[in-house]
Chains A and B, each alone.
Chain A
Amino acid sequence: MIIIAVSTAAFCGVILGLFNSRFRLVPDKRLRLVMEVLPGFNCGSCGHATCALFAEALVSGKAEHHACVPGGPRAASALSEILGVEMSKVEAKLAVIHCKGGKAEASVRSVYDGLSDCHSATMIGNGDRTCQDGCLGLGTCVRACPFGAISITVNGVAAVSPDLCTGCGNCIKSCPRGLIELIPGIHKIFVACGNHDYGAHVKKYCSVGCTACGLCVKASLSGAVEIENNLPRLDYEFGDTFVTAAHKCPSNCFVDLVKARPKVNIDTKCTGCGECLHICPVKGAITGEPGERHVIQKTMCIGCGRCLNICPAHAISLWGGLGYGAPDITRYRKMR
């Protein structure tokens, strides 16, 4: 028995050895290094099914070194070093959900007691919410996110945690209502409404729905906001911060993920010319008589920064940092 076992094993070993020496591929040495750099989530945002396939494409020169979205700039710089190519600029992306109308804000027209899946709910009478474009809150995007960045809040609406989101975009296809979009990661402000209905209709069933009043268009001087099909569209390429537009929205349907914006301060160089008084979008945030030093009401300043460049005496500066740290996505900050 022992002889049989040993001889069979030896025979199989020899055959395998011969076969491998003849046919086995010798992997590229850089492949192991590349695999160490890649995050290994197999999210598919680079266009390849798995990280291993992407690594092979990278080594064989068929993929760009900055294609890995979750890896971000760090992975891109490491990969460019391994592959010996010049690093190019990487822009971080952030997924946002264009709805914040939960149970408290948006009305419900029926009871849905089916599968807890948004696609199922859409097939049965287009869901239980009165709003035909709003978040259903059944968590299909939560299951689609490989990073656990999306959660359903106690209010019954999906919210993305900007710290965990890598911008891979897997959630975009999962939403049957197309509410999820990728925005440039440095911008933390977006319109949290996807309703194309007329304003008077929206007001009836959602307290935070966009009525397409156009105040945000007037508020952004650069023209970066446009009303399109009854919804404002923010053009992030313009360089606008959208702080003013978000503040001016009467239905409070903008979301600012920054906890607190810095406030401006007027120092002793102020000549009292009054330029800042005219450009300030918040009435009463800057007070002062002509010819005297003006004063900022710190509780009212929204930190839009418009007065910074208008001041001829360069007396205005921003004080305080951005409120970095995990924002409370279960309850968005009130804009006004």
Chain B
Amino acid sequence: MSNLSILLHTALVAMFVSNLPLVRMLGVCPLASTFSFRNAWIYSAVAAFVLTVSGTAAWLIDALILAPAGLEVAQLLVFMMTAATLVQICETTFERFYPRMFHAIGTDLSLLAANCAVAGLMLTVTDTNSVTGSPFSLVEAAVHSIFAAAGMSLAILITSGLRERIDLNRLPKPFAGLAGAFMIAAIAAIVFAGFAGSPALH
């Protein structure tokens, strides 16, 4: 495969085939906690930002510090701390230089720092790339992070849009609120499972 097609495959896998919340079930809580489409836009933008930054940073830390020192056992520990630090630094920077943006996304940013989607993505980009069968290169890791983030935003927007539409109806009590949100997420997950295709066709 040429370089470009590998990147394209990586992007599609990250966004659809192994979509973070809907296929790998990592970071499902935003699907349940975003009630309106307008909130979902803000939340998904924040999630995309955090995932892109932390995924790329994880690859760099792993390749430059952990792997040469033989400390792969401590991956998760180091990743979580660096992710939290990075997010905190971003938050301070926003507050200082982009106050309007900070007020729009401020609380969401620190909430996302400890999201399981972040941890999952960090561990994925330091593992082998399922497209090539060899470890991720820096460019592949960056592309994977960006499109995994886009996939997460897509999932949040889809479910929140559906939820906004459904909340207007008279729902039976057991299906209102959180239960309904999870059912919507489940149905969306079935749709996304279709992107992986049937093993019999390969």
Contact = CB atoms under 8 A, between A and B. Distances in A.
B92 A24 contact: yes
B84 to A, nearest CB: 7
Interface in A159-203: none
Given A24-B96, A50-B103, A4 B77 contact: yes
B64 interface: no
B137 interface: no
Nearest to B83: A12
A117 B78 CA distance: 50
A193 B35 CA distance: 35
A116 to B, nearest CB: 6
Contact of B103 (A1, A53, A115): A53
B-side interface mostly = helix
B103 A49 contact: yes
B71 interface: yes
B85 A25 contact: no
A23 B92 CA distance: 7
Interface residues of A, number: 21
Interface stretch (A14-22, A81-89, A276-284): A14-22
B132 interface: no
B82 A23 contact: no
B141 to A, nearest CB: 21
Contact of B92 (A8, A19, A116): A19
Given A8-B78, A116-B170, A117-B168, A16 B95 contact: no
B1 interface: no
B2 interface: no
A8 B168 contact: no
A296 interface: no
A4 B95 contact: no
Contacts of A115: 168-169
Contact of B96 (A8, A12, A15, A23): A23
Interface in B82-128: 82, 84-85, 88-89, 92-93, 95-96, 103
Contacts of B92: 19-20, 23-24
Contacts of A53: 103
Contacts of A5: 74, 77
Interface of B: 71, 73-74, 77-78, 81-82, 84-85, 88-89, 92-93, 95-96, 103, 168-170
20 contacts: A1-B74, A1-B77, A4-B71, A4-B78, A8-B74, A8-B77, A8-B78, A8-B81, A8-B82, A12-B85, A15-B89, A19-B89, A20-B92, A23-B92, A23-B96, A24-B96, A25-B95, A25-B96, A52-B103, A53-B103
Given A9-B81, A25-B96, 12 more contacts: A1-B74, A4-B74, A8-B81, A8-B82, A15-B85, A15-B89, A19-B92, A24-B92, A24-B95, A50-B103, A53-B103, A116-B169
- 7 closest pairs, A vs B, by CB? A12-B85, A115-B168, A4-B74, A23-B96, A12-B81, A8-B78, A8-B81
